[in-house]
Amino acid sequence: MATQILTQARLQELLTYDPNTGVFVWQKRTSNRVQLGHICSCLDKHGYIVIRLDGKLYKSHQLAWLYTYGVFAKELDHINQIRNDNRLVNLRQATRSQQMHNAGPLKNNTSGVKGVSWDKRVRKWHARIWINGKCQCLGFFETLETAQKVRNANHAILF
């Protein structure tokens, strides 16, 4: 049996979506587990809300886009970086590069500033930015604040 592609019509038959809250609610029973009128709120291990429809698991931000615009977006970004905030105003189509620039510092970042790290060799703060998959050095600075300002200024110009 061929896998059917979820359509906007099928999605709207099964769920309602409130673009102001980002919440999906069941409006049609698809199994014994489904409770009519209940909010779909199952989180995956990455913090995204997921919903199983017709035997397939979907991320709810992708479903919000399909519900509203009738198409699946190739890449979606949560503007405020909160993975379970699926309000329509918080979702935007974005390339992987744009999504990475919207992300915060990595977990192993010790400076607390994205794109800035301490260089033990020169004993200065090193600022850098990624452009088209390549790391560009912005320089070495005496203070974290100066390195952050340079990094932020370059980010603002590029993005």
90-131 residue pLDDT tens: 999 987 766 666 666 666 677 888 889 899 999 999 998 887
C-alpha distance from residue 39 to each of 15, 78, 85, 133 (Å): 9, 20, 14, 39
> Mean pLDDT over all residues of the chain?
87
Residue 83 has a pLDDT of 92
- Give the integer Cα–Cα distance in Å for 126 and 75: 31
**Domains within the chain, CATH numbers bracketed:** 8-96 (3.90.75.20), 104-158 (3.30.730)
Residue-wise pLDDT for 6-55, tens only, equals 999 999 999 999 999 999 999 988 777 778 889 998 999 999 999 999 98
The structure tokens 């049996």 sit at 1
In terms of DSSP H, where are the helices of 2-86? 8-14, 60-69
Query: 3-state DSSP helix/strand/coil percent for the chain, to nearest 5?
Result: 25, 30, 45
CA-CA distance, 111 to 105, in Å (whole number)?
Answer: 9
Q: What tokens does 1 get?
A: 């049996």
pLDDT, tens digit, 9 for 90 and up, residues 61-82: 999 999 999 999 989 999 888 9
pLDDT in tens, 123-155: 999 998 887 778 889 999 999 999 999 998 887
Is 83 in contact with 76 (CB distance < 8 Å)? Answer: no
Task: Count other C-beta atoms under 10 Å from residue 30's C-beta.
Answer: 14
Please, what's the largest Cα pairwise distance for the chain?
Answer: 64
Q: Is residue 1's pLDDT more than 70?
A: no
Among 89, 109, 103, 101, which residue's Cα sits nearest to residue 130? 101
Neighbours of 127 (CB within 10 A): 26
